[in-house]
Chain A
Amino acid sequence: MEALYATVTGFLAASGLYLALRGRTFPVVVGLTLLSYAVNLFLFSTGGLTTNGAAVIREGVTHYADPLPQALVLTAIVIGFAMTAFSVILAMRVRGDQGSDQVNDQRGEEPKEEKS
């Protein structure tokens, strides 16, 4: 299970990184989202992978899963959602303001160069 989990996390992170380095805003946003998924999976696994483990201490139970990474991952997911929503809106705003979805649009700067 560890090998599968690690492969999936690594693949997600690699795809996210590739997309985040693209030149248009939409792939960048999708890439950052994939990256945050990969990070969430990674964070989830930091307590060790256990199946059928109890998260809360109870009498007569000896097999436990680490509850803290679950709490951390929940926080990270919520924050990640907010950031994704924000960056989607921002990408649309960039598109509207510049008339192009290039991350590095140089057209806006040209008139300024001539003036100075």
Chain B
Amino acid sequence: MMHHLIVLPVLLPLLSGLLMLVKRDSIVLPRRAIALASTAALLVISVVLVIQSDSGEITYYALGDWQPPFGIVLVLDRLSALMVCLTAFLALGSVAYACAGDDRKGSNFHGLFQLQLMGINGAFLTGDMFNLFVFFEVLLIASYSLLMHGGGKDRTQAGFHYVALNLAGSAMFLIALGVLYGTTGTLNMADMSQKVAALDPDRLGLIKAGAFLLLVVFGLKAAILPLYFWLPRAYSSAPAPVAALFAIMTKVGIYAILRVYTLIFGGGAGELANFVQPWLWWFALATLALGGLGVLSARDLRNQVAYLILISVGTLLVGVSMNREAPLAAVLYYMIHTTLVSGGLFLLADAIGEQRGKAGARIVPGRGVTQPALLGLFYFVGAVTVIGLPPLSGAIGKALLLNAALPSEQPWLWSLLLLSSLAGLVAMARSGSTVFWKAGRGDSDGPRLKPAMLAGLILLLGASPALSILAGPVTRFTDASATQLLDHDAYAEAVLSGNVAGGDS
């Protein structure tokens, strides 16, 4: 029974998403109950998966009992378990927030939300390149509709840009897959990693082109420098709970980069070993620098958070491109922190905008919020941790990463990471003082935080203090994940050795 657990993070959201299609009338209560129950169950399952993966054993689930390298497999290792758990936690916060009323603004919010969770979980768990593409499409098509949930001019236009760009991205993904399949003759990631190592030198150029094309596709999802222009507009026009969930979407791209370029084109790839990382280093640094400039230029709280996400993407990719155990462990810790906190900040920006009436989330002096103490406290916690001031989790993540840099990397990494944090500090301080201090009196009869909104905010922003208290166990897990990630031979052996974990043979 236990080995079927791996497939549940994909099946459960699919089933509950389908269930919500049955009765699509205006009574929203049953759907809310299903959504909350399913997301909470997902969290429980993913915690069990994390515990299971912590034994250090890599297990796989062969769908339909077709054994690798021919069948499609779902692979559970520490990294994928961690990402699924992170998704479930973030989703619980955003579903709780959406239950306060955002889900009524369009049809079938909860169903689409569950389908998007299915796509995200599938992308984290799969061990097959084409299956990765399919799950990318599942999560994208759900995100297209979620992005435009509630309608409005801004949303449809931002939505069209997002859709057109991602369709072009999907086309490139398929071309890259075709090239990789044509040269290696397999789509299973573990098998491909072994085929790449033993490749005919004549075909090196071809597979290199395929690998770079894949980097472009994943970079588009992760929003690296030349490919990030869709992000600020799409994220700041999405409804708040959706924008909060989108905080994990860039991480799907980063996860894919991490997986493909450590496993398939990692240390064991012969002549192609780690050839992408030096490129990634410079692009990531540039993203970091530009994110810092963008956060200063933002004139709207939601836009500001979108640029903060860009800074975090730069930070994460810098760590990924260093490709050693210590930076990777730091990156994984920082990833947990930044995903939850930026999700929480999107929710907070929406809550502030709702209480300020006409001024909305724009950073202009206007009417004060109805609950300045409560929202101010949330803003303070969120700002401190997202910038990386001690004692909250942002500081720990950034310190781990700074500490992991070699002397040759220090001048670039330290200066740019600290400067972009400074830019974040200035921007957050300025917008905080404008919104909370340069404001008139709030309307005491104005809209207040509903309990569901409060629950969502506490869950996501409260994760940061919790992460810094639990930093010991969490870093132990991320250290072990980074070690496991770099041990590509163990992964290939676990998947290809034929000791069946899935199916019932």
Known: A32-B168, A36-B167, A36-B171. A47 touches B156 (CB 8 A): no
**Nearest-CB distance from B279 to chain A (Å)?**
23
Most B Cβ at <10 Å: residue of A32, A45, A79, A82: A79
Of A43, A86, A90, the residue contacting B156 (CB under 8 A) is A90
User: Which B residues have a C-beta under 8 Å from some C-beta of A?
Assistant: 130, 134, 137, 141, 144, 148, 151-154, 156-157, 159-161, 163-164, 167-168, 170-171, 174-175, 177-179, 181-182, 187, 299, 362, 364
- The 0/1 profile, CB within 8 Å of B marked 1, for residues 88-116 of chain A is 00110110011000010100100000001
Known: A35-B168, A94-B156, A105-B157. A87 touches B179 (CB 8 A): no
**Nearest-CB distance from A56 to chain B (Å)?**
14
Question: When the two chains form their complex, are residues A93 and B156 in contact, meaning their CB atoms are under 8 A apart?
Answer: yes
- The 0/1 profile, CB within 8 Å of B marked 1, for residues 62-89 of chain A is 0000001100100110010011001100
Which residues in A have their C-beta under 8 angstroms from that of B174? 39-40, 42-43, 76
**Nearest-CB distance from A95 to chain B (Å)?**
9
Question: When the two chains form their complex, are residues A87 and B156 in contact, meaning their CB atoms are under 8 A apart?
Answer: no
Which residues in B have their C-beta under 8 angstroms from that of A35? 167-168, 171
Which residues in B have their C-beta under 8 angstroms from that of A72? 130, 177, 181
Question: When the two chains form their complex, are residues B130 and A83 in contact, meaning their CB atoms are under 8 A apart?
Answer: no
Known: A79-B134, A108-B154. A90 touches B168 (CB 8 A): no
Which parts of A17-72 form the interface with B (CB within 8 Å)?
20, 25, 28, 32, 35-36, 38-40, 42-43, 45-48, 68-69, 72
Question: When the two chains form their complex, are residues A68 and B181 in contact, meaning their CB atoms are under 8 A apart?
Answer: yes
**Nearest-CB distance from B479 to chain A (Å)?**
38
Top 5 A-B residue pairs of the complex, sorted by shortest distance between their CB atoms? A46-B182, A46-B178, A43-B178, A39-B174, A32-B167
Question: When the two chains form their complex, are residues A75 and B130 in contact, meaning their CB atoms are under 8 A apart?
Answer: yes
Cα of A91 to Cα of B161 in the assembled complex, Å: 10
Q: Which residue of A lies closest to B186 (CB)?
A: A68
Which residues in A have their C-beta under 8 angstroms from that of B130? 72, 75
Question: When the two chains form their complex, are residues A98 and B153 in contact, meaning their CB atoms are under 8 A apart?
Answer: yes
Cα of A47 to Cα of B152 in the assembled complex, Å: 46
**Nearest-CB distance from A43 to chain B (Å)?**
5
Question: When the two chains form their complex, are residues B163 and A90 in contact, meaning their CB atoms are under 8 A apart?
Answer: yes
Cα of A43 to Cα of B177 in the assembled complex, Å: 8
Question: When the two chains form their complex, are residues B171 and A39 in contact, meaning their CB atoms are under 8 A apart?
Answer: yes
Additional A-B contact list (15), CB under 8 Å, known A75-B130, A86-B163: A28-B164, A35-B167, A36-B167, A36-B171, A40-B174, A46-B178, A46-B182, A69-B181, A72-B181, A83-B141, A86-B144, A97-B153, A97-B156, A97-B157, A98-B156
Cα of A67 to Cα of B152 in the assembled complex, Å: 46
Which residues in B have their C-beta under 8 angstroms from that of A45? 178
